[in-house]
A = this chain, B = another copy of it.
Amino acid sequence: MLNELSFAEAATAIERGDITSEQLTRACLDRVEARDGDVKAWAFIDPELALAQARACDVADERKGLLHGVPFGVKDIIATHDMPTGMGSPIYEGHRPGYDAACVALLRAAGAVILGKTVTVEFAGMAPPPTANPHNLACTPGGSSSGSGAAVADFMVPAAFGTQTAGSIHRPAAHCGVIGYKPTFDTFSIHGVWPAAQSLDTLGLLTRGIDDVELISAALLGRPLRRERAPVTSPRIAICKTHLWDIVKPETEEAIQIAKEVLSARGAAVVELILPESFDELVSARDIISSYERARATAHEWYNHRDLLSPQLQKAVAKGFAWDYEEYAHAIKVGADRRHDLDLLFNAFDAIIAPCTAGEAPPDRNSTGDHTHIGMWNLLHAPSYALPTYRGPNNMPVAIQLIGRHGEDDALFDVAKWVLEQLVPA
């Protein structure tokens, strides 16, 4: 089935002339048609608009770029000039920003077909989305990039944008069983992405194949595909249980234990990392920063359309406006200081493996699950992956989190690819 190709596989198949963009796009649209009544991954999709882009690729005299003809999903807090951008909020239903976010314009310039807008939790926050987990419709897909996680996992589109402020890329990636990539903070242009908390928001990717990350990143960063590098053979990997280990479920413990054993057996130099106690404060510091900044980012809606905000968001914004600035400033300093500490720790290893979500997706559609394990690392601005390497007691996906050194996204990609090859052989 064409819609089951990974993004990179599809790009190659189109480049070779084995398939057309229109065939691939139709296969994705057929899957959406068949499944989205149940999964509800899409906030907006116009088949004719998608097919018109695909046909334009197929008749073009030359390839537009690295992503020529491959469909892509865009989280609905990201501006699109030809589709509404609703932010998951009734305040912005049918909103037309009048331009493409930078990331969308860059993807289009590289030839990608923007298939449609994927469901976001209201303002990338905490209210439950309409989306279901495609592996079990009674479970949450995670959030806030709920539609991106569900659509990619359910073979409706090969890849999609997500954004992460706490765990909004890795949580849906983990719960839906796809790869989540959160770059080093500020790597991709954030222009046109509606903010949640500006010192934490990071644009990233949800994909089914690890090579997709390298390909799409190259288009966004304007760089050639890296082809030459030394093969990874014995990466130095630190297993970090963190101070949150007692709220981890058995399936996540098992996923990490298996990773430790298998990677060690395949040549990795595995050590255990016990973080200094000063890192414990990261969870509360991130919560304060997110809360304080989100309240300000929501000032217009708070003062003009408060009754159209969900009860959850109203509560969060009220809390955010109540923080003392001094507490916020302290939390900012905690983040900066621990970033410096982490950078020094990284002299001793190439990547950290830590819990991602607590466990499988909860069988609860009124929650988007737990983000604590992901959020503490997100405040550190380090690049990270959610890698779905395991299945839990209910046969639902379980991911490990792989964290790299600030700015060293290329090196982390190589380790992530090696780790997946060992743990999830093709």
Contact = CB atoms under 8 A, between A and B. Distances in A.
Interface residues of A, number: 45
A191 B199 contact: no
Contacts of A209: none
Contact of A324 (B98, B195, B223, B296): B223
Given A198-B190, A198-B191, A81 B300 contact: yes
Interface stretch (A41-49, A100-108, A170-178, A245-253): A100-108
A189 interface: yes
Contacts of A221: 325
A63 to B, nearest CB: 16
A186 interface: yes
A199, A304, A326, most chain B CB atoms within 10 A: A304
A407 B331 CA distance: 12
Contact of A191 (B99, B105, B296): B296
How many copies make up the complex? 2
Contact of A303 (B95, B105, B321): B105
A260 B197 CA distance: 41
Interface string A286-317: 00000001001111111110000000000000
A52 interface: no
Contacts of A324: 223
A271 interface: no
Contact of A325 (B102, B109, B222, B301): B222
A138 to B, nearest CB: 36
A29 to B, nearest CB: 25
A332 interface: yes
A97 interface: yes
A329 interface: yes
A95, A321, A325, A340, most chain B CB atoms within 10 A: A325
Contacts of A97: 97-98
Interface string A240-261: 0000000000000000000000
A333 interface: yes
B198 A299 contact: no
Interface of A: 81, 92, 95, 97-102, 104-106, 108-109, 186, 189-192, 195, 198-199, 221-223, 293, 296-304, 321, 323-326, 329, 332-333, 340, 407
Given A102-B297, A102-B300, A192-B300, 6 more contacts: A97-B98, A100-B304, A105-B300, A222-B296, A223-B325, A333-B407
